[in-house]
Amino acid sequence: MVSEAEKVQKKTKCEHQAECMKLVQLIVDGQATDEQVAHFKANMETCLPCEKGYELEKCIKESLQLRLEKKCVPQSLVDCIKANIGKMALLALIISYFITEGNFLCRNFASSQTAITIGR
Ligand SMILES: [Zn+2]
């Protein structure tokens, strides 16, 4: 067994997650300053929810871009969420995301999955 002490212990709880997630939004939107990016990257090294939140935001952002380009490839997002969904904190994040912005995403999932089923 790998000794836990040899691994860098990441925080499993972020005490400033709301701020972190705002920063994540800026970064994935390409609107963060270099300083903000550097600050967040350093924080991400020690903070598990921030790291996962960043990965998820990136996946969501990419899938939104695909959607804007009218490509039907939300499967990458589905895979991303499946890969990350084990964490309860993340689940809460996803749920809050879906409540705020996600209604069309849900529909997009449903319709794309129907399309995949019909298409194959
Ligand atoms: Zn954090």
- Looking at the structure of the chain, the number of domains it has is 1
Q: How far is the CA of 107 from the centre of ligand 1 (A)?
A: 31
What's phi and psi for 21, nearest 5 deg?
-70, -30
Is residue 115 in a domain? yes
Give the global pTM.
0.53
Contact at 8 Å (CB) between 67 and 106? no
Q: How far is the CA of 47 from the centre of ligand 1 (A)?
A: 5
Q: How far is the CA of 22 from the centre of ligand 1 (A)?
A: 11
Rounded mean pLDDT of 57-78? 70
Reported as half-sphere exposure (CB side, CA atoms, 13 A), residue 60 has a value of 22
Q: How far is the CA of 67 from the centre of ligand 1 (A)?
A: 29
Q: How far is the CA of 72 from the centre of ligand 1 (A)?
A: 33
What's phi and psi for 11, nearest 5 deg?
-65, 140
Q: How far is the CA of 112 from the centre of ligand 1 (A)?
A: 33
pLDDT value at position 104? 47
Q: Which comes out higher in pLDDT, residue 111 or 54?
A: 54
> In which domain, by residue range, is 55 found?
16-119
Is residue 54 in a domain? yes
Joined together, the tokens standing for residue 97 give 């995301």
pLDDT value at position 113? 47
Is residue 73 in a domain? yes
Q: How far is the CA of 56 from the centre of ligand 1 (A)?
A: 14
* Measured distance CA(2)–CA(15) in Å, rounded: 28
Is residue 101 in a domain? yes
Alpha helices (runs of H) in the chain, residue ranges in sequence order: 17-28, 34-44, 48-68, 75-84, 88-100, 103-119
Considering the chain, what is the average pLDDT of its residues?
71
Neighbours of ion ligand 1 (CB under 5 A): 14, 20, 47, 50
Rounded mean pLDDT of 20-37? 93
